Amino acid sequence: MTMPKEDTNTMRALQGLDSSNSSVRLQAAVAVGTTPDPRFIDKLIERCAKEPEFYVREMLTWALTRHSSSMTVPELIDELRSERAQARSQALHTLSKIGDGQAWSAITRALLTDADDEVARSAWRAGVVLVPEGEEPELAAVLATQLGRGERETQLSLSRALMALGEVVMPTLRTAMTDLDPRVRQHALATERLLRDPDAGFEFAIEEAKRIVTTLFS
């Protein structure tokens, strides 16, 4: 018995997602996104959790956004409980791209403060996209607990998330500017500087913040 052509194409795409060749995986993700099929969703999410190539992960996320959010969002939320950091991070990234508000309740404090920087950064971005109107101050308060964390790339991600919330973050930043930890003070000052002047640049803002902290607390 001959397999229908559409089933043959489905099998070929599913197999392509597991290829050892990243170009084949990329082409398979493009094919899946071009012709969405609910049968692909589990495989796409599974692949996101272990795909080593950034550009392939981005295409996997795009393919998931092409499917019905009513089918993808619940499964992505389940993925947030995975023990694998990349699974959590990529699920958060995909949820931020889908932008379905039903995922907001899944952006927990545990994810926003996850020990893995990539997971936390993805949670910050998703939180800013999904936060309901009126709950921005609560999100800002949690994000502020991460001020001073990590290296420049991580700090810049947090500053961008706080800036995206707008003026509502100012009271929280002002409190953080008096924190006992100089890294927290510097990061809060730099973020406030960028909020006032987005064109200043993070490097300039953080160096200026260091000078201010050194002057005021030396």
Joined tokens for residue 127: 């939180």
User: pLDDT category, 4, cuts 50, 70, 90?
Assistant: very low
Tell me the pLDDT tens digit for each residue of 62-115.
999 999 999 999 999 999 999 999 999 999 999 999 999 999 999 999 999 999
> Would you tell me how many other CB atoms lie within 10 Å of the CB of residue 153?
10
pTM of the predicted model over 0.85: yes
Report the C-alpha gap between 43 and 211 in whole angstroms: 51
**Contact at 8 Å (CB) between 136 and 166?**
yes
Contact 124, 161 (CB under 8 A): yes
Give dist(CA 39, CA 32) in Å, integer: 10
Using alpha carbons, list the distances in angstroms from residue 141 to 106, 112, 153, 177, 211: 17, 11, 21, 13, 25
pLDDT 10s digits, 112-162: 999 999 999 999 999 999 999 999 999 999 999 999 999 989 999 999 999
Please, which residues have CB within 8 angstroms of residue 198's CB and are 6 or more apart in sequence? 163
Instruction: Give the integer Cα–Cα distance in Å for 79 and 97.
Output: 16
172-203 b/e (C-beta count within 10 Å ≥ 16 → b):
bbeebbebeeeebbbbbbbbbbbbeeeeeebe
